[in-house]
Structure 1
């Protein structure tokens, strides 16, 4: 029985762990050929692992070309690589602002730019950017990270407008706080990790962290050739945090 992504080739940046690894696994399960672009080699035997640094244009171009040559095509780009940042506007230096924006925003530009010549040849071309609830809700101690993800949301819409008539759809997912290794490290650094986890769970209306697999499911919908009329939009995978205002449980 034919699968939804049979014959299609995808690259997933930051695909060696966390949300990226879940996305890569779901794409493979749906029939796609997948290359993971990451600083760390993927442990999955089902993907092609290519070392790439989204902060370096030459590294990105080399990896994207290698993936396209290996598969003979490139149809889907998942821009998932990114880094976190904590603090108010007083807590990070200019250098740190430049570093985070370079990875989280310009990194997506580098990957998409390198992939465009191949995507233009595809009849099912799609770019999906990993954004965040931080783009649409004011979160404490996340000024720099929020600014970077707000830029990703705006960038997604601009890219969608620029490339619609080339047959390339561009969308993004906005995860809430997800149960990933990065969040695990963040929790471990707190004075009371268990209390901090409870607070993060409670912040999301459904009362728990988002799973990487739930985010991956939204990415596959946006990347699917069945979603040909979906472009320039975002899907919140956040347990209702963006849109719901629930009354406290009595």
Structure 2
């Protein structure tokens, strides 16, 4: 039976008065003992409930990810902690280091860029740049098995930091939470759309040299992050 904090405190109070009533009014040892057992159980249940509802605190980088990406979509801190528990590691790359190499690196992770920038290229041709709080391998998240290989090369343009998840473990974890699964499908799906727009609209060739549009130019095509499309989807 699920009780809120006030109800649990009322049950604890009732248990204590039951003990006093059994000892001072009925003067029955049996009633008093059962009242003590009931009171101890209810007190422990109340303490556990209060502790489990206590706001979780994350490391600064995880706190930023939660507040920027998941809190606006009504994901609780405990749900986000379940996501963090699927984390493989924190990966740090220096300028020139590769996150993935075309047709060499297996697609078995999901990574989120915390800081820095990454360049995605194919056949040595630049496609787009991944910025802060964007997923690195979101296009591979849908419909690509862990036995397949990246079809692009992803290289750090500067010192870069990423959260890397075990992709299959993450999928199994959120599968049991329909709300969390919908949130991830939404966030990662939007990230894929962003990348497709960036590849098709922001790469131009000027005198044989590839250039990327500025952020302001890209934001003209960018999907409004504040639009309530997800809320309409999960509102029911």
**TM-score by shorter chain over 0.5:** no
Greater Rg by CA: 2
TM-score class, shorter:
under 0.3
TM-score (norm 2): 0.28
| Higher share of residues assigned strand | 2
